[in-house]
Amino acid sequence: MMKRLLPVIVLLLAACIEVEPVLQPTLTASVTPTPDVAMLATQTAAARPTDLPTATPTITLTPPVLVTPPTSVVISITPTLLPTSTPRPAGSPSPTLNLPTLDPSVTIPLTPGTAGPTPTLPVTVTPYPTPVGYVTSLIATPNTRLPGGAPFDLIWQSSAPDGSLQLCQEIPGAEQPDCQNVSPNGSRQFTVPDGEIRATRLSLIVQVDNNAPEAMALAVGEPCEHPWFFGSLPQAYCPQSEPLNTGGAAQFFQRGIMVYVGTLDRILVLHTATGGPLWEIYEDTWDDSQPIDDPGIVPPEGFYQPQRGFGQIWRDNEDLRFRLGWATDPEGSIAADYQCDRLDEACYLLGPGQVFRLEPDGEAWSVVTP
Distance CA 368, CA 57 (A): 89
Q: Does a cis peptide bond (omega within 30 degrees of 0) precede residue 142?
A: yes
- For every one of its 370 residues, what pLDDT tens digit does the chain have, with 9 covering 90 and above? 555 555 555 555 555 555 444 444 444 444 444 444 333 333 333 333 444 344 444 333 334 443 444 444 343 434 333 333 333 333 333 333 333 333 343 333 333 333 334 343 343 434 444 455 778 889 999 988 888 899 999 999 988 888 888 999 987 777 788 899 999 999 999 999 887 778 888 988 888 877 767 888 888 988 888 888 887 777 788 888 888 887 899 999 999 999 999 888 999 999 888 777 889 899 999 998 999 999 999 899 999 999 998 999 999 998 889 999 999 999 988 888 899 988 767 899 988 888 888 988 888 888 886 5
3-state helix vs strand vs coil in the chain, percent to 5: 10, 25, 60
DSSP one-letter string for 18-34: -----PPP-------PP
Does the 135-221 domain belong in CATH 2.60.40.10?
Answer: yes
Q: How far apart are CA 323 and CA 355, in angstroms?
A: 22
**Helical ranges in the chain per DSSP H:** 2-16, 37-45, 308-316, 318-324
Cα gap 98→206, rounded to integer Å: 14
The stretches of 31-118 forming alpha helices (DSSP H) are: 37-45
Query: Could you tell me the pTM of the whole model?
Result: 0.54
Q: What is the CA radius of gyration of the chain?
A: 50
**How many angstroms separate the CA atoms of 150 and 130, rounded?**
38
End-to-end CA distance of the chain: 171
- Three-state DSSP class for residue 292: coil
Domain residue spans of the chain: 135-221, 247-368
